[in-house]
Chains A and B, each alone.
Chain A
Amino acid sequence: MPAKKNPIDALWDFFCSLKLTIVTLILLAATSIIGTVIQQNRSPEEYLQRYSESTYRLLDSLQFFDMYHSWWFLALLGIFSLNLIACSLKRFPLVWKAVTQPRLVADNALFQTFANTEEQLLKGKSSSEVGEKVSAFLRQHFAAPVLTEQDGALHFFAQKMPYARFGVYVTHLSILIIFVGAIIGNLWGYKAFVNIVEGTSESRVWPRGSNAPIDLGFTVRCDEFSVSFYEGSNRPKEFKSLLTVIDGGQVVKERHPVIVNDPLSYKGITFYQSSYGPTGDAQIQLQATALAGGETVDLSVRQGQRVDLPGGGTLRVLSVSQSYQNFGPGAQLEVVDADGKRSTYLVLKNFPGFDSRRDAAYRFVLGDFKQRYYTGLQVAKDPGVWVVWLGCFLMVVGSMVAFFMSHRRIWVRVETVGDQVGVKIGGSAHRNQPGFELFFDEFKKNLKSELAS
Chain B
Amino acid sequence: MTSSLFFNITTIAYFAAMVLFIVYIVSRIQAIGLTATGVVWAGFVANTIAIGLRWREAYALGFQQAPLSNLYESVVFFAWSIALVYLLMDLKYKQRAVGAFVIPFAFIFMIWAQLGLNAEIQPLVPALQSNWLTYHVITCFLGYAAFAVACGASIMYLLVIGREERKGNNQGLMGIFPSAKVLDDINYKAIMFGFPMLSLGIITGAAWANYAWGTYWSWDPKETWSLIIWFIYAAFLHARFTRGWVGRKAAWLSILGFAATIFCYLGVNLLLSGLHSYGS
The reply to whether B214 and A272 form a contact with Cβ atoms under 8 Å apart is: yes
User: Does A68 sit at the interface, judged by CB under 8 A?
Assistant: yes
- Find chain B residues with CB under 8 A from A139 CB: none
User: Does B212 sit at the interface, judged by CB under 8 A?
Assistant: yes
- Find chain A residues with CB under 8 A from B129 CB: 260-261
The reply to whether B213 and A238 form a contact with Cβ atoms under 8 Å apart is: no
The reply to whether A28 and B231 form a contact with Cβ atoms under 8 Å apart is: yes
Query: Could you say which of B127, B199, B215 contacts A399, with CB atoms under 8 Å apart?
Result: B199
Given A26-B232, A403-B195, A237 contacting B245 (CB threshold 8 A): no
The reply to whether A403 and B231 form a contact with Cβ atoms under 8 Å apart is: no
* A3-60 at interface with B (beta carbon < 8 Å): 18-19, 21-22, 25-26, 28-29, 32-33, 35-37, 39-40
Report how far A33 CA is from B213 CA in the complex, Å. Answer: 23
User: Does A306 sit at the interface, judged by CB under 8 A?
Assistant: no
Query: Could you say which of A18, A379, A385, A392 contacts B242, with CB atoms under 8 Å apart?
Result: A18
Report how far A191 CA is from B224 CA in the complex, Å. Answer: 20
The reply to whether B122 and A261 form a contact with Cβ atoms under 8 Å apart is: no
Chain A contributes a number of interface residues (CB within 8 A of B) equal to: 47
Residues 216-236 of chain A: 1 if any B CB is under 8 Å from the residue's CB, otherwise 0? 000000000000001000011
Interface stretch of the complex, out of B111-119, B157-165, B233-241: B233-241
User: Does B247 sit at the interface, judged by CB under 8 A?
Assistant: no
- Find chain A residues with CB under 8 A from B238 CB: 18, 21-22, 25
Report how far A230 CA is from B231 CA in the complex, Å. Answer: 41
User: Separation in Å of the B234 CB from the closest CB of chain A?
Assistant: 5
- Find chain A residues with CB under 8 A from B206 CB: 388, 392
Give the contact-size bracket for chain B.
35 or more
Q: Which residue of B is nearest A434, CB measured?
A: B185
The reply to whether B126 and A259 form a contact with Cβ atoms under 8 Å apart is: yes
User: Separation in Å of the B152 CB from the closest CB of chain A?
Assistant: 20
The reply to whether A29 and B268 form a contact with Cβ atoms under 8 Å apart is: no
User: Does A389 sit at the interface, judged by CB under 8 A?
Assistant: yes
Q: Which residue of B is nearest A67, CB measured?
A: B219
Given A21-B238, A272-B214, A385-B210, A29 contacting B123 (CB threshold 8 A): no
Query: Could you say which of A28, A37, A270, A404 contacts B272, with CB atoms under 8 Å apart?
Result: A37
- Find chain B residues with CB under 8 A from A382 CB: 210, 214-215
Query: Could you say which of B200, B213, B221, B235 contacts A378, with CB atoms under 8 Å apart?
Result: B213
The reply to whether A230 and B213 form a contact with Cβ atoms under 8 Å apart is: no
Query: Could you say which of B132, B196, B227 contacts A400, with CB atoms under 8 Å apart?
Result: B196
The reply to whether A32 and B122 form a contact with Cβ atoms under 8 Å apart is: no
User: Separation in Å of the B77 CB from the closest CB of chain A?
Assistant: 21
Q: Which residue of A is nearest B196, CB measured?
A: A399
User: Does A177 sit at the interface, judged by CB under 8 A?
Assistant: no
Report how far A225 CA is from B205 CA in the complex, Å. Answer: 28
User: Does A161 sit at the interface, judged by CB under 8 A?
Assistant: no
The reply to whether A272 and B212 form a contact with Cβ atoms under 8 Å apart is: yes
The reply to whether B224 and A35 form a contact with Cβ atoms under 8 Å apart is: yes
User: Separation in Å of the A234 CB from the closest CB of chain B?
Assistant: 11
Report how far A260 CA is from B213 CA in the complex, Å. Answer: 8
User: Does A92 sit at the interface, judged by CB under 8 A?
Assistant: no
The reply to whether A22 and B215 form a contact with Cβ atoms under 8 Å apart is: no
- Find chain A residues with CB under 8 A from B55 CB: none
User: Does B130 sit at the interface, judged by CB under 8 A?
Assistant: yes
- Find chain B residues with CB under 8 A from A385 CB: 210, 216
Residues 16-41 of chain B: 1 if any A CB is under 8 Å from the residue's CB, otherwise 0? 00000000000000000000000000
* B167-219 at interface with A (beta carbon < 8 Å): 185, 192-193, 195-196, 199-200, 203, 206-207, 210-217, 219
- Find chain B residues with CB under 8 A from A28 CB: 231
User: Does A429 sit at the interface, judged by CB under 8 A?
Assistant: no
Q: Which residue of A is nearest B225, CB measured?
A: A36
The reply to whether A191 and B214 form a contact with Cβ atoms under 8 Å apart is: yes
The reply to whether A396 and B234 form a contact with Cβ atoms under 8 Å apart is: no
User: Separation in Å of the A111 CB from the closest CB of chain B?
Assistant: 25
The reply to whether B232 and A261 form a contact with Cβ atoms under 8 Å apart is: no
User: Separation in Å of the B187 CB from the closest CB of chain A?
Assistant: 14
The reply to whether B228 and A32 form a contact with Cβ atoms under 8 Å apart is: yes
Query: Could you say which of A18, A39, A396 contacts B203, with CB atoms under 8 Å apart?
Result: A396
Report how far A230 CA is from B193 CA in the complex, Å. Answer: 40
- Find chain A residues with CB under 8 A from B122 CB: 235
User: Does B125 sit at the interface, judged by CB under 8 A?
Assistant: yes
Given A36-B268, A274-B213, A26 contacting B235 (CB threshold 8 A): yes
- Find chain B residues with CB under 8 A from A35 CB: 219, 224
Seed contacts A19-B244, A237-B126; 6 additional CB < 8 Å A-B pairs: A19-B245, A29-B260, A239-B126, A382-B214, A388-B206, A396-B203
Give the 3 A-B CB pairs with smallest separation, nearest first. Answer: A380-B214, A29-B231, A260-B126
Provide 10 A-B residue pairs closer than 8 Å at the C-beta atoms, listed in order of the A residue. A25-B235, A28-B231, A35-B219, A191-B214, A191-B215, A270-B214, A272-B212, A272-B213, A380-B214, A400-B196
